[in-house]
Amino acid sequence: MATDLINVLKKLWFYLLYFMVTIFFCYQLTKLNKNLLEHFSSDAYLEIIAYNNYQSLNFFALSIFLCFIGVLMIILTFKNMYFFTEETETMIGVIVCVLITIVLMITIIILINNPILKAILSLGVGSALIGYLVANNK
């Protein structure tokens, strides 16, 4: 039984690495969100973005990157399913890993949504609107 588990872990090592990195990232993102909401109101978009040398933008970029990597891993797993279908234990491990990956991606989206994503979207939409009005006001 132990050798079966080791074989499954050898095949799914990239998921385990992704889980560790993503869980650590979510922990750090939770701490950042708490700091942002302690120091600023949720409507202080510029301050939220500029906080601690634009740390919010870095976390936003990492969120996009981690979600992209998660989606890519799931796609490649299903594309190469023949590699995982040898044993029942491996197939169960793949299904569990895919489900955990989906849950982690949803967690990232929820965590980045408040207040960082709101600030980025508000400033982005506002900037686009101002740019449109300036460009069309000849």
- Residues 64 and 5: their CA atoms lie apart, in Å, by 32
Over range 25-44, report the average pLDDT: 88
Residue closest to 115 by CA, chosen among 52, 53, 32, 58: 32
Phi first, then psi: what are they for 87, rounded to 5°? -125, 150
* Top-confidence residue, 2 or 93: 93
CA atoms 107, 113, 116, 117: torsion sign: positive
At residue 126 the predicted structure's pLDDT band, cuts being 50, 70 and 90, is low
pTM score: 0.81
